[in-house]
């Protein structure tokens, strides 16, 4: 049973819009023969996305509900044609290349796609699959443990505003979890405590080079921020050294965790569906599952998007060192 419609607002793409999107993706793939991003391919993606009609742009409009997310529906994935689920991101190569380009086109309508020099070889679309030996890690390659609710790339001031998760395969209806800060109930005292920059958020296991960064002291960052648009958050408990804070702060943080758990929803995507998450409002995770490593496991595509001019974060973030990690932008400002 697909729970996406019940757990998240749905935006349904019509046939004409789907044809427009598919034709653009096919044209780019035919021209370049790969989805491995290059300046030339990214430039063509930008050109194609600029030509899309108003209907597609309306479907890609900013998230406009307190849920902080929506599911874009209508794309198709042929389970046989895409081949087996890759054994890991490093072996994925051009698996599902047409869907990589489709995700990039949609991301370019929503904002500016970004990538990271230190993650998945700088690719702009990541393959999220279970990997042997990483079953218990707090990264997208895990499987047998709960992937704790978190802000994507919370350690970095240049993290995405929007996160896109496109489903390629999900035979076992494995759910992504999501919880919006706009749905929680906290006391004024807890909000006051959590808006103070008290603890750092350290780089996660997907950034080996960042974990070895010792040039500067890790910056203390606020967990909550009262922006003009409403409350936002920056949250990753698995990589936050809570033991370094006093009991008052730890208690407020635990109450936030409890509230996020209370309002959490489970979104089980079908192939072709794309979950779009506001990374400033929503923490996301994943329920545990048993990986088979037989080519039929859950397979998602991930794209990250910055929205130019958005003001949902403290200005002080601009001075953070980002643990030496640099974001790559698809389109020059």
Q: 4 falls in which pLDDT band (50, 70, 90)?
A: very low
**Share of residues in the chain with pLDDT > 70 (%):** 97
In terms of C-beta density within 10 A (0-12 exposed, 13-18 middle, 19 or more buried), how is residue 277 classed?
A: buried
Pairwise CA distance, residues 183 & 97, whole Å: 37
Check residue 6 and give its pLDDT: 52
* 120 φψ region: left (φ > 0), alpha (ψ -120 to 50), beta (else): left
pLDDT in tens, 225-245: 999 889 999 999 999 999 999
In terms of C-beta density within 10 A (0-12 exposed, 13-18 middle, 19 or more buried), how is residue 33 classed?
A: exposed
**Under 8 Å between Cβ of 276 and 13:** no
Check residue 138 and give its pLDDT: 86
pLDDT in tens, 97-123: 999 999 999 999 999 999 998 788 889
Pairwise CA distance, residues 279 & 179, whole Å: 11
Closest CA to 277 of 182, 135, 172, 171: 182
Check residue 1 and give its pLDDT: 33
Q: What is the mean pLDDT of residues 58-83?
A: 96
Closest CA to 233 of 182, 296, 294, 307: 182
Q: Are strands 327-329 and 299-306 parallel, antiparallel or unpaired?
A: unpaired
Q: Residue 128 corresponds to which tokens in the numbers above?
A: 């999220």
pLDDT in tens, 300-322: 999 999 999 999 999 999 999 99
Q: Is the pLDDT of residue 3 over 60?
A: no
List 227's β-bridge partners, or say none.
230
Average pLDDT over all residues of the chain: 93
Q: Is the pLDDT of residue 333 over 70?
A: no
Q: Residue 265 corresponds to which tokens in the numbers above?
A: 């929803």
Neighbours of 167 (CB within 10 A): 26
CATH superfamily of 4-329: Clavaminate synthase-like (3.60.130.10)
pLDDT in tens, 181-209: 999 999 999 999 999 999 999 998 778 77
For residues 18 and 119, the model is more confident at: 18
pLDDT in tens, 135-148: 998 888 888 888 89
- Which value, to the nearest 10 degrees, does the dihedral of the CA atoms of residues 154, 105, 115, 320 take? -50
pTM for this structure? 0.95
């Amino acid at each position: 049973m697909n729970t996406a419609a019940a757990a998240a607002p749905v935006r349904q793409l019509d046939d004409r819009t789907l044809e427009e999107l598919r034709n653009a993706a096919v044209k780019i793939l035919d021209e370049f023969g790969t989805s491995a991003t290059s300046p030339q391919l990214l430039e063509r993606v930008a050109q194609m996305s600029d030509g899309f009609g108003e209907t597609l742009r309306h479907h890609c409009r900013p998230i406009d509900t307190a849920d902080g997310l929506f599911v874009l529906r209508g794309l198709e994935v042929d389970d046989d044609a895409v081949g087996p689920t890759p054994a890991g991101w490093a072996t994925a190569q051009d698996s599902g290349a047409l869907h990589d380009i489709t995700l990039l086109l949609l991301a370019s309508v929503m904002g500016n796609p970004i990538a990271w020099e230190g993650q998945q070889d700088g690719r702009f679309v990541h393959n999220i699959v279970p990997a042997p030996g990483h079953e218990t890690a707090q990264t997208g390659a895990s499987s047998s443990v709960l992937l704790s609710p978190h802000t994507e790339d919370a350690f970095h001031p240049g993290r995405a505003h929007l996160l896109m998760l496109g489903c390629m395969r999900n035979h076992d209806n494995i759910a992504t979890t999501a919880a919006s800060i706009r749905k929680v109930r906290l006391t004024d005292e807890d909000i006051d405590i959590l808006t103070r920059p008290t603890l750092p958020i350290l780089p996660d296991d997907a950034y080996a080079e960042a974990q070895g960064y010792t040039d500067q002291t890790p910056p203390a960052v606020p967990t909550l921020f009262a922006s003009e648009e409403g409350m936002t958050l920056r949250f990753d408990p698995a990589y936050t050294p809570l033991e370094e804070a006093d009991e008052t702060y730890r208690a407020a943080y635990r109450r936030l965790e409890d509230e996020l758990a209370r309002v959490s929803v489970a979104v089980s995507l079908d192939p072709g569906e794309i979950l779009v998450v506001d990374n400033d409002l929503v923490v996301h995770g994943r329920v545990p599952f048993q990986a088979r490593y037989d080519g039929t496991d859950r397979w998602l595509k991930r794209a990250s998007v910055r929205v130019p001019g958005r003001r949902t974060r403290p200005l002080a973030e601009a001075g953070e060192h980002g643990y030496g990690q640099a974001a790559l932008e698809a389109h020059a400002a």
